[in-house]
Amino acid sequence: MDILTDSHPITRLEIVDTGRRRRWSESEKIRIVEESLSAPRLASATARRHGISNQLLFAWRKAYREGRLGDEPGFVPAKIVPDLPETRPEPVCHPVEIVSPSGWRVLMSRECDEHALMRVLRLLEGLR
């Protein structure tokens, strides 16, 4: 209201308190979301029944689908295991390169199993 253009001065000012912001527990949110998912087209009716906006209910539904609703922080289970034995660093082994007549290249370590290498080479030769 503009004082310069209005000829009536303000005699009474009323402040309307809309109340505190409501806090919903995780279990209440889950209950409301599951109620809204129980039948088709119940989202807006469920939101009206509980006095929340459609947008808030849809945000809760999205969090519910993504698994973010209902996971309250808590303790993470811990497991005590014995120390691993000390290992010596393995010596550096340079790989060996094998080139087949068909052009396949195979890099292997010197400790490679002979039978496994033969299976790989037979497989590659069969792919030509």
How many residues are given for the chain? 128
- 39 within a domain of the structure (yes/no): yes
Q: Does residue 89 sit within a domain?
A: no
- The answer as to whether 79 is a domain residue is no
Is residue 122, in this structure, part of any structural domain at all? yes
Q: What are the pLDDT digits (tens) for 69-124?
A: 876 556 667 788 888 777 776 666 677 788 877 777 888 877 777 888 888 878 87
Does the residue 60 lie in any domain? Answer: yes
Separation between Cα atoms, residue 82 and residue 5, nearest integer Å: 83
Rounded Cα gap, residues 66 and 106, in angstroms: 44
Mind listing the pLDDT tens digit for each residue in 12-56? 766 665 666 788 889 899 999 999 888 777 788 899 889 899 999
Angle between the 26-37 and 54-65 helix axes, to the nearest 10 degrees?
100
Domain count, the chain: 2
**pLDDT for residue 32:** 92
Angle at 96 between CA 92 and CA 100, to 5 degrees: 165
Q: What is the pLDDT of residue 59?
A: 94
Identify the DSSP state of 7.
S
> Residue 115 domain-assigned?
yes
Six-digit token pair at 9? 């001065």
Residue 119, classed as helix, strand or coil, is helix
DSSP 8-class letter at 32: H
Which pLDDT value is given to residue 56?
Answer: 93
pTM for the structure as a whole: 0.42
**121 in a domain, yes or no?**
yes
Query: Is 76 within the bounds of a domain?
Result: no
CA angle 55, 20, 51 (to 5 degrees): 40
Average pLDDT over the chain reads 78
Question: Domain range holding 52?
Answer: 26-65
